[in-house]
Amino acid sequence: DDSACNLSSLNLMKFAGAGGELDVEAYRHAADTMIVAQEIIVDNASYPTARIAENSHNFRPLGLGYANLGALIMSLGKPYDSDEGRAFAGAVTSLLTGYAYTASAEIAATRGPFEEYAKNSASMMAVLGMHRDALTRVKHDQWISSLTREAYQAWDNAIEAGQRFGFRNAQGTVLAPTGTIGFMMD
């Protein structure tokens, strides 16, 4: 309650590889860059009330998401409303979230975790563990096996870094509606 998160979306079409795959290295780099940029904004943003400003500084919630999921799935030759499309969406979402929390932990290594982290660390680590475990429910067919392997690695990295350093941000990702900003993303 009484908080705000700085929203940002990555245009997934920018990560479509020529061979019909997701360019995971570029996707990871973009996620890292955006988490750093959004983290900087927390201290430089204007908030509508003093309580929202206080909570935003104490918890530092971010909202990195993506746009153009359907366009990317269809450009890869898969039906949007299909088991393959849903598996791809799960893998891409898991990757982004794992990358975001790894970046947040890396920032915490030098800047410290968010103010309220100590009181929330056990719950946060449990939730992140559940996110990683949810990846087991993504259909692991050959089409996305490289993505799911990368997603498991991203989550292993995020959890290991979080155990060592904590997290700079109580929230790293959100899937906000992106219809309007899609016009700005071509």
User: pLDDT of 105-157, one tens digit each?
Assistant: 999 999 999 999 999 999 999 999 999 999 988 887 777 888 999 999 999 99
Contact present, 154 and 94 (Cβ < 8 Å) = yes
pLDDT of 184: 65
pLDDT of 140: 74
Mean pLDDT within 154-177: 94
pLDDT of 96: 97
pLDDT of 162: 98
10-66 pLDDT, tens digit per residue, is: 999 999 987 778 899 999 999 999 999 999 999 999 999 999 999 999 999 999 999
Mean pLDDT within 79-84: 88
pLDDT of 119: 97
Contact present, 173 and 63 (Cβ < 8 Å) = yes
Distance between CA atoms of residues 128 and 124, nearest Å: 6
Residue 168's closest CA among 124, 123, 115, 125? 115
pLDDT of residue 104 exceeding 90, the answer is yes
> In sequence order, which ranges of the chain are alpha helices (DSSP H)?
24-44, 50-59, 69-75, 83-111, 117-134, 145-165, 181-184
pLDDT of 183: 62
- Output the six-digit token pair for 16: 């479509």
**3 band by pLDDT with thresholds 50, 70 and 90:** confident
Residue 99's closest CA among 23, 168, 146, 156? 156
Task: For residue 173, list its beta bridge partners.
Answer: 64
pLDDT of 185: 63
Number of Cα atoms under 13 Å in the Cβ half of residue 69: 21
Distance between CA atoms of residues 112 and 167, nearest Å: 8
Q: What is the DSSP letter of 76?
A: T
pTM assigned to the model: 0.93
pLDDT of residue 178 exceeding 80, the answer is no
pLDDT of 17: 81
Task: For residue 22, list its beta bridge partners.
Answer: 16
pLDDT of 94: 95
Per the model's pLDDT, the better-predicted residue between 94 and 140 turns out to be 94
